[in-house]
């Protein structure tokens, strides 16, 4: 069982990692401001084999215990309503993508804590029925930086971590040492717990009720390193939450306090195998969210290049 954290202790932690007011020119890009042209050039220099690994899950239209609001996909044109040549086939896509099924990016408007978005603006004033006026996903744009995969099951010689298992700072440090992948400023950190291998072998389960992920104690070291992005094959939070009265504490710390967007529900199985084969767990990472003005995030298919 993970260490329980009181609300008072959590609030102290939130204030300790808070990075409000740090980026005055583009505050709703948050920690993505850390990624400079030099960071991009260094990331590109990591490409050796040219192996390209996508991390987005298949568009999931099937209801299940971890997909309460299935994505939509239907054909809207079958070549029979327009001039005969050439035949055109069209389809519709839609998704209530925040949740446990669709691979997506959380923008800074997605999470408020104590009524405040990242950088201190009042959520009620900045997010409404027309979308977000601060921290929208369109403000982020694409990200190109160095990715670091912390493959926790591989380090432990396990197929996966069991749902509910909390990952602490010692676990992250051990993974860095074992994999030779030290996290640096401007990096995107991806944490694999083996969720989709477990799902493939055991079957789906309610990941809202139980999922391996980060304990809040693991967040301060990531804040100290100055990461730009955090993601994983869960949604970064261990579930059930260890914090009294806060259902997604890592979301609150990363997004609302630190200004670090999150990548949720990535399929990291192919990347795990590719990194093992290459003998390294750092790579060029490209994240290109949809340009949705006022959006709180975006479905996304991040790509690693080794």
Confidence (pLDDT) at 79: 87
Question: Closest Cα to residue 254, out of 160, 191, 301?
Answer: 191
* Cis, peptide link before residue 9, omega less than 30° from 0: no
* Cis, peptide link before residue 101, omega less than 30° from 0: no
Confidence (pLDDT) at 82: 81
Average pLDDT value for residue range 144-158: 98
- In the chain, the percentage of residues whose pLDDT exceeds 70 is 100
At 12-37, the pLDDT tens digits run 999 999 999 999 999 999 999 999 99
Cα 155 from Cα 47, distance rounded (Å)? 24
Assign 1 a pLDDT band (cuts: 50, 70, 90). low
pTM, rounded to two decimals: 0.96
Distance of CA 213 to the CA centre of its chain: 12
Cα 228 from Cα 186, distance rounded (Å)? 5
For strands 282-287 and 143-151, give the pairing: antiparallel
Check whether 185 has a pLDDT greater than 90: yes
Alpha helix positions (H), the chain? 7-17, 37-44, 123-126, 137-140, 152-156, 169-179, 195-202, 219-225, 249-251, 269-278
Check whether 261 has a pLDDT greater than 90: yes
């Amino acid at each position: 069982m993970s260490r329980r954290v009181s609300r008072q202790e959590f609030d102290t932690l939130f204030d300790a990692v808070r990075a409000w007011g740090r980026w005055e020119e583009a505050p709703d890009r948050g920690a993505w401001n850390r990624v400079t042209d030099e960071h991009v050039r260094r990331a590109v220099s990591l490409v050796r084999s040219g192996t390209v690994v996508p991390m987005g899950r298949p568009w999931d239209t099937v209801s299940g215990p971890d997909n309460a609001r299935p994505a939509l996909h239907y054909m809207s044109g079958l070549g029979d309503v327009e001039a005969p040549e050439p035949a055109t086939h069209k389809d519709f896509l839609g998704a209530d993508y925040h949740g446990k099924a669709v691979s997506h990016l959380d923008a800074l408007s997605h999470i408020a804590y104590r009524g405040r978005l990242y950088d201190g603006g009042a959520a009620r004033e900045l997010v409404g029925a027309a979308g977000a006026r601060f921290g929208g996903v369109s403000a982020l744009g694409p990200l190109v930086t160095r990715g670091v995969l912390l493959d926790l099951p591989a380090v432990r010689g396990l197929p996966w971590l069991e749902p509910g298992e909390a990952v602490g700072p010692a676990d992250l440090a051990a993974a860095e040492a074992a994999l030779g992948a030290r996290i640096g400023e401007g990096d995107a950190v991806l944490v694999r717990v083996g969720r989709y291998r477990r799902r493939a072998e055991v079957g789906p389960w309610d990941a809202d009720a139980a999922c391996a992920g980060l304990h809040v104690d693991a967040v301060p070291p990531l804040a100290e390193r100055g990461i730009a992005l955090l993601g994983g094959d869960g949604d970064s939070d261990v579930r059930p939450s260890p914090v009294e009265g806060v259902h997604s504490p890592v979301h609150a710390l990363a997004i609302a306090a630190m200004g670090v967007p999150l990548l949720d529900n990535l399929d990291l199985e192919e990347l795990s195998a590719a990194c093992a084969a290459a003998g390294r767990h750092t790579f060029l990472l490209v994240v290109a969210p949809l340009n949705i003005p006022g959006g709180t995030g975006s479905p996304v298919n991040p790509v690693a290049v080794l």
